[in-house]
Amino acid sequence: MKGILTRKLGMSQFISPESGEVSPVTVLEAPANTVLQVKKTDKDGYKAVVIGAFERKNFGKNDNKKYKFIQELSLAGDEELKKGDKITLESLKEIKTVKVTGTSKGKGFSGVVRKYNFGRGRETHGSHHHREPGSVGTCAKPGRILRGKKMPGQYGNTQVTIRSTEIVDIDLDKNLIALRGSVPGAVNSFIFLQEN
């Protein structure tokens, strides 16, 4: 399994040199990731590595706080990495699509019309049902609101994963990667890329 930790810089356009087609892309910054820990099958029960990126300026003596973004990456059977190794965009050169994981933008406390696209009530005179969710209770049995009911609450600020996102371009000199379309999260938020 190949993957890398990145940071979202924003959206731009990419013009294909062959066809001249203009594509909307999200540009991500991907400096060299450092392997912080190696997990092995005999000791931990599975094969994986813990990688870190984006060093802090003042992290003190604790190496666990040295990096702003730390993530665990599972490994295939034949892959071997050791502590201190670097993972760069070079590892994604042969891959066409990636799985993108990030935290979506938080939109605060929202009602059901905005959050779940519920229909509105009548706008006529005397109607008290415009943007309300409507009846949510049950009868005497079970006499409570069932778990998982769609109701007003926090909207956004959740982990979102998008599969099969196309890699449009990779710039190894500037440590940049361009993905087709939008990517979850605000500008400067951390994004985890994995091979599909």
Give the model confidence (pLDDT) of 105-144 as tens digits: 999 999 999 999 999 999 999 988 899 998 888 888 888 9
30 and 63 in a single domain? The answer is yes
Does the global pTM surpass 0.75?
yes
Task: Answer whether residue 58 shows pLDDT above 70.
Answer: yes
For residue 58, the SS3 value is coil
13: domain CATH number is: 2.40.30.10
Q: Assess contact for 92 and 170: CB atoms under 8 A.
A: yes
d(CA 41, CA 23): 43
Residues pairing with 154 in the sheet:
109
Closest to 31 measured CA to CA, from 176, 146, 180: 176
139 and 173 in a single domain? The answer is no
34 and 66 in a single domain? The answer is yes
Average per-residue pLDDT for the chain: 90
The number of domains in the chain is 2
Question: Which pLDDT belongs to residue 158?
Answer: 95
141 and 88 in a single domain? The answer is no
Q: Per the structure block, which two tokens stand in for 104?
A: 């979506």
Question: Which pLDDT belongs to residue 19?
Answer: 87
98 and 136 in a single domain? The answer is no
Domain that holds residue 117: 112-151
